[in-house]
DNA sequence: CGATTAATTGATACTTCTCAAATCCTGTGG
DNA sequence: CCACAGGATTTGAGAAGTATCAATTAATCG
């Protein structure tokens, strides 16, 4: 992690889609001047499970995974975050240690906003406070969905759904591939299964024409069938 | 559901442990006068997944389960709630439909607090607002734990952990049994497994002296061993 | 262009689910 | 209070679904 070129919040392209959309110009100015811009190389860890961060990151470019380590040290990916997303706020707001680690799936530029600034905004700007609450409550609903899926769906169903989630989260590159590079193991850590099971099932999906696979480049060819296989209703 | 005897928030024994602990006396008075006290018989549904409630329940006496329906109509219990707990706030705060249903595990008295009152408190009382945020963020961390457990632990491990969770949530009755009556199916819906698997494993636990079982009365005899079997670290 | 890591494939073992049948409770109405 | 109906629990057997281990091939990064 090293200091990056400073980016001004007032002129940030992502502002309207970030959690800071509810701040007025003087507040934005304050965030902008209290923050630090940092750079993480692919694979670097932004935040460590169990630690106590002193602020949050607002992602500017890049993609990250948020994961917990299970009993055998196996990582379980809880969700992804990308540019415009705030990460690390859960621990800060609940006053607990970090419940998950965050690492960069690709080179990432992020802005570190100190705890004091975040809390000041929450206390003085009801709009921002409500937006944050809305965000956490939405996440809580998503977590409930994931819990039900992990408990009740087969690996095959979950893989189909995960492919759809990845597509929804990161979209497609110019060639139509899912716009993120994940190892088979990472996909397995999202699905909650063994790497080999992901490989076999992906291969089945390929044979059935649902996806095209060229190494880590995966194309979602048949959304409807994946929805059907994954029993995705929402 | 029928009207019950009105309970005044100002004199509610549970106030200090509820989310309303941060309200001042005039605010408490307002909550008290805007609310409605209702009674639910065992098995009744307080709130329906997919619906749009116009307020939250503050549980006064009784126990409830919060669950989602999976693909085959099988219910997945996300968590429990008991007296002093607020339920239904997630959907209200995120502005979404209810992501889960809530039903009474035993006869339950609850107070229905209208949405307008809740939002007024959030907007005018920063302490309350922060407490709510703290609550949702804590729940979010718990959800992450559950996700990891479901994805990585065996049924045996999860059952051990669930028994510990039930004990922590509801405590013991005067005979030392877990102070809640759950069917084997409900335990299975919490663990995320088949009813028969719970029965077989509970029977194993009994043979090993970890628990005592008399119908639905279960006693946790050996906490340490359950912790070990369940790989519970927190 | 190597060295290392990732991906793939096959064989096998194990966990867990499903289905069926036989008690056993529990709540309810007489 | 008792008997009964219907649901809950238990047990067994067999079938799936997944994980694990090992060995090979492919891909990626410096």
Task: Check residue B100 and give its pLDDT.
Answer: 96
Protein residue closest via CA to C1' of D16: A154
- Sign of dihedral through CA atoms A53, A55, A58, A59? negative
Tokens of B163: 């028994």
Q: Do A147 and B150 touch (CB under 8 A)?
A: yes
Q: B77: nearest CA in chain A?
A: A148
Strands (E), B29-147: 36-40, 45-47, 55-61, 63-69, 75-82, 86-87, 101-104, 108-114
What is the DSSP-derived secondary structure letter of residue A153?
S
pTM: 0.93
Model pLDDT, residue A187? 97
Residue A19 near chain B (CB below 8 Å): no
Residue B5 has pLDDT above 80, yes or no: no
The dihedrals phi and psi of A62, each to the nearest 5 degrees, come to: 110, 175
pLDDT at B6: 66
Mutate to test the interface with A, among B49, B126, B147, B155 (most CBs of A within 10 A): B147
What is the mean predicted confidence (pLDDT) over B102-119? 95
Cβ-defined contact of B151 to A93 (cutoff 8 Å): no
The confidence score (pLDDT) of residue A95 equals 96
Report the DSSP beta bridge partners of residue B214. Answer: B217
Distance CA B158, CA A35 (A): 42
Among A51, A67, A114, A130, CA closest to B136? A130
Q: Which residue has the tokens 């000041």?
A: A120
Calculate what percentage of chain A has a pLDDT beyond 70. Answer: 97
- Region B156-171 average pLDDT: 96
The band of A71, judged by pLDDT with boundaries at 50, 70 and 90, is: confident
Q: Answer whether B66's CB lies under 8 Å from B80's CB.
A: yes
For residue A140, CA distances in Å to A76, B100, B232 come to: 17, 11, 22
Q: State whether A126 and B123 contact (CB < 8 Å).
A: yes
What is the tens place of the pLDDT at every residue in A21-54? 999 999 999 999 999 999 999 999 999 999 999 9
pLDDT greater than 90 at residue B97:
yes
| Contact: B99, A141; criterion CB under 8 Å | yes
Per-residue pLDDT reduced to its tens digit, B184-224: 999 999 999 999 999 999 999 999 999 999 889 999 999 99
Interchain CB contact of B129 with A (< 8 Å): yes
Residue B8 in this model has a pLDDT that exceeds 90: no
- Answer for the pair A166, A181: CB distance below 8 angstroms, yes or no: no
* Max CA distance (Å), chain B: 56
**B157 CA to C22 C1' distance (Å):** 30
Statement: the CB of A74 is under 7 Å from strand D: no
Of residues B127, B133, B54, the one with CA closest to residue A137: B133
Neighbours of B226 (CB within 10 A): 21
For A118, residues 6+ apart whose C-beta sits below 8 A from its C-beta are A55, A56, A89, A92
* B216 CA – C22 C1', rounded, Å: 20
* Sign of the dihedral defined by the CA atoms of residues B21, B27, B28, B33, in that order: negative
Strand partners of residue B76: B68
Q: Whole-angstrom Cα distance, residue A184 to residue A155?
A: 14
List, for residues A98-122, the tens digit of each pLDDT value: 999 999 999 999 999 999 999 999 9
Residue B65 near residue B47, CB atoms below 8 Å: no
- Confidence at A1, pLDDT banded by 50, 70, 90: low
Whether A94 has its CB under 8 Å from any CB of chain B: the answer is: yes
Give strand ranges (E) for B70-220. Answer: 75-82, 86-87, 101-104, 108-114, 211-214, 217-220
Predicted pLDDT at A233: 84
Residue A63 token pair: 């993609």
pLDDT tens track for B41-52: 999 999 999 999
**What's the pLDDT at B3?**
57
Q: Give the integer Cα–Cα distance in Å for A24 and A125.
A: 9
B contacts of A153 (beta carbons < 8 Å): 70-71
Q: With contact defined as beta carbons under 8 Å apart, do A93 and B139 qualify?
A: no
Query: How confident is the model at residue B72, as a pLDDT?
Result: 84
Predicted confidence (pLDDT) per residue in A187-204, tens digit? 999 999 999 999 999 999
pLDDT digits (tens, 9 = 90+) for B167-177: 999 999 888 99
């Amino acid at each position: 992690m090293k200091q990056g070129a400073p980016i001004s919040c007032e002129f940030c392209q992502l502002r309207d889609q970030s959690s800071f959309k509810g701040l007025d110009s003087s507040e934005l100015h304050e965030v902008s001047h209290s923050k630090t811009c940092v750079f993480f190389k692919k694979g670097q860890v932004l935040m460590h499970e169990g630690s106590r961060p002193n602020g949050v990151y607002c992602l500017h470019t890049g993609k990250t995974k948020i994961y917990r380590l299970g009993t055998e040290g196996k990582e379980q990916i809880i969700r992804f975050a990308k540019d415009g997303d705030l990460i690390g706020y859960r621990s800060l707001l609940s006053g607990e240690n970090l419940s998950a680690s965050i690492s960069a799936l690709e080179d990432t530029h992020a802005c570190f906003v100190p705890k004091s600034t975040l809390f000041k905004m929450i206390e003085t700007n009801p709009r921002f406070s409500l937006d944050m609450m809305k965000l956490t409550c939405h996440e809580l609903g998503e977590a409930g969905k994931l819990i039900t899926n992990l408990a009740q769906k087969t690996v095959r169903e979950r893989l189909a759904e995960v492919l759809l989630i990845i597509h929804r989260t990161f979209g497609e590159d110019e060639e139509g591939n899912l716009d993120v590079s994940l190892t088979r193991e990472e996909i397995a850590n999202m699905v909650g299964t063994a790497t080999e099971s992901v490989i076999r099932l992906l291969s089945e999906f390929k044979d059935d024409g649902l996806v095209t696979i060229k190494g880590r480049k995966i194309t979602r060819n048949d959304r409807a069938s994946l929805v059907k296989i994954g029993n995705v209703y929402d």
